[in-house]
Structures are given as structure tokens and as C-alpha cells.
Chains A and B, each alone.
Chain A
């Protein structure tokens, strides 16, 4: 009954409105599709940036853990005394400069070394580096820190935290 009413209706009242509704649906569908595609792309871009930089942060963390100037009495130990000299506030300016000498000035990062018991923390930061920004990527390696003498060694973590470069 209702279908025959539509078929026999020659006033074309519904016709233009149907077009508008279908057009609106197509436009809304397309906008939703574009939003999903752009969201997926942004997520992919963020993840690939994080992945890429995590690899670099991890490499720097391993490199710093093996840096001879901060090694303790054995090559697998990190000397707390050396860390005291180059952490903030810096006591040995020359050693601090040499620590960052081989790293590119374009790379914004700082190093945080903490003992697992939370009693000690050292932050080694490049002087003149800008304020810490968002989008920080961190990579950590386990280390053993020599406190005073080789008989007093505590486990700890060496973390490299880097943030998104301004010009990328």
C-alpha cells in the first residue's frame, strides 16, 4: 500500500530531498573516511618516529654505558665518583665537555643514571640545551654502579632521554 503510494506520486516531492540526503550521506562518509585515513597516518608517523628514535636512544645508552671515562675499577662497572664530576651541577667542566664531544650538537638528549634502590640519581645534561619538550623517547640499559670501592656495587639503570628535534 505504502509502496504504491510512492510509485503513483507524481508531485516529485520526495525526489529532490532524496538526492540531498544521499549526497549528505556520501559527504559525511567521505569525511569520516578521510578522518580515519589521516588518523591512521598520524599514528603510523608517530610510531615510526618513536621506533626510529628509540633505536638511536638505545644505541647511545649502550655507548655511554661502555664509555671508558666513566668506567670503574672494572670495565663492566660505572664509577659513581666519575658521575659526580660530570652530573649537574658540573664539577669537572672539561670531562663534561669531552663526554658530549663525540655527539652531534643537533641531538637533544640527557642521561639519567639511577640506582635501583632509588637512593642515588645522576643527571648528565649538555650545558645550554633547551628546556625539555614533549615527545620524549627514552631507552634504558641495566648497569652496575660502583659506589666508592669495587666492594660496594649496586645495580642501576642508565636511561637516555631524547626529545623531538625542533627542525624535523
Chain B
């Protein structure tokens, strides 16, 4: 038997040429099929991941909306007290957070806070913090009436009541500076107990005239 002579005709050019010919002459369309199926799989994975993320984002946005609505409600309550005239019933209200629903969401994990400039509500779930913050229209202090009067008494030797107004050399700007510095402190509120929102007036004698400084007090 004659052993066929092994012809070593390998060269890079030949190989490339043969591969190219193989591809061009291949009428079974396997490469096309594999490429298109791979593209299909990748596209499906990307679309499924996008849909999954979109759903998760919508759920988070829904919770964000709920928190926004609650923060807005709280802000409106504080602003309504600010708008009302001092001494009227609407200038002193008790506010309850609407944190309970039948599905049990937003119960224990809900945190509310208030400072001189904003009211905020936050919710922590799976180490992710969702929060809603609303700026307040009126100057607000997270203290009760006696705390504020004591602070004024300590600094200006007068409580700022109608009967005991703050007298010169202290001016109303001294009082507003002190209260602004006090208002920067954020106070956390317990969402399961009621919040008192009260309008308070601080009287300051300035150039022989008595000026009224209006503040909203938010405390529990």
C-alpha cells in the first residue's frame, strides 16, 4: 500500500485564505445562527435586567411619593399655623403622623425630623435610606415654649413675653441671631405620638416701639 505523501503546505496566508473561503462557501449559516442567537440572548438579558430595575425603581419611587405626601402634609400643618393670626385656635394645633396602613408599611422604621428651615421624613429599608425633605415657609423652632423662654431669659434677662419684653441694649437682630442659631439643630420626632405646633410671639422693644417676632414652635 502506498502511503500518501504528507504535504505540508501550511502557511499563514493559506490558512487565512482557506478560512475565509470556508466562511464564504459555507451555506449552512451556522455562524450567522450562532451570532444571532448570542445577540438575542444578550439583548434578552439586557432587557430583562432593565425591566427588573425599572420595576424596582418604580417601587422605590412609589415609596418616595408616599414619603413626599407625608412630608408635605406635615409641612402644610406647620405653615397653616404660621399663616394664622396669633391667638386664634388655628395657631395651636396637634398633629398626628398618618403612618399606619393595613399592610403595615411605614410603621416603626419611619423617622421624622424638624429644624428651623425644613421638615423631613425618612424611611430605612434594606440598608437603603429614602427621605423626603420640605422647606418651611415660616421660621420654626424645634423647642417648646418654656425652653425658648428660658433661653431668652438666660441671654437677654427677659423672657420676651408681652409682660416682659426684651429691652435695649438688646435689639431684635440679637434675638433673631440667637433663635436662628438655636433653629439649626435638627430634632427627631416620634411618629407614633402627637406633635404640638404652636405659634409664639417674642416681644422686643426697639426704638421705643414694641416689635413682635413670630416663630412656630414644634415639639412633643
Contacts and interface: CB of A to CB of B under 8 A. Distances in A.
A56 interface: yes
B interface: dominant SS: helix
Given A20-B36, A23-B40, A104 B140 contact: yes
Contact of B138 (A13, A55, A94, A103): A103
A107 B117 CA distance: 9
B63 to A, nearest CB: 14
B116 A15 contact: no
Contact of A13 (B29, B61, B137): B29
A117 B40 CA distance: 68
Contact of B28 (A12, A23, A63, A168): A12
Contact of A107 (B47, B51, B135): B135
Given A27-B47, A34-B54, A37-B54, A106 B118 contact: yes
A103 B140 CA distance: 9
A151 B34 CA distance: 91
Contact of B136 (A12, A26, A63, A104): A104
A104 B135 contact: yes
B135 A168 contact: yes
A59 B83 contact: yes
Interface string A7-51: 000011101110110010011001000100100010000001000
Interface in B49-80: 50-51, 54, 61, 68, 72, 76, 79-80
Contacts of A129: none
Contacts of B180: 105
Nearest to B117: A106
A56 B78 CA distance: 12
B133 A101 contact: no
Contacts of B28: 12
Contact of A98 (B37, B80, B172): B172
B72 A52 contact: yes
B214 A20 contact: no
B39 interface: yes
Interface residues of A, number: 35
Interface in B107-157: 116-118, 133, 135-140
Size category of the B interface is: 35 or more
A60 B137 contact: yes
B36 A16 contact: yes
A27 to B, nearest CB: 6
Interface string A90-115: 00001001100111111100000000
Contact of A102 (B37, B54, B82, B173): B82
Interface of B: 27-29, 32-33, 35-37, 39-40, 43, 47, 50-51, 54, 61, 68, 72, 76, 79-80, 82-83, 116-118, 133, 135-140, 172-173, 176, 180, 206-207, 211, 213-215
11 contacts: A16-B35, A26-B43, A26-B47, A41-B61, A56-B137, A63-B83, A97-B173, A103-B137, A104-B117, A104-B139, A107-B135
Given A23-B43, A101-B139, 13 more contacts: A23-B39, A26-B47, A27-B43, A34-B50, A41-B61, A55-B76, A59-B79, A60-B137, A98-B172, A98-B211, A104-B136, A105-B139, A105-B180
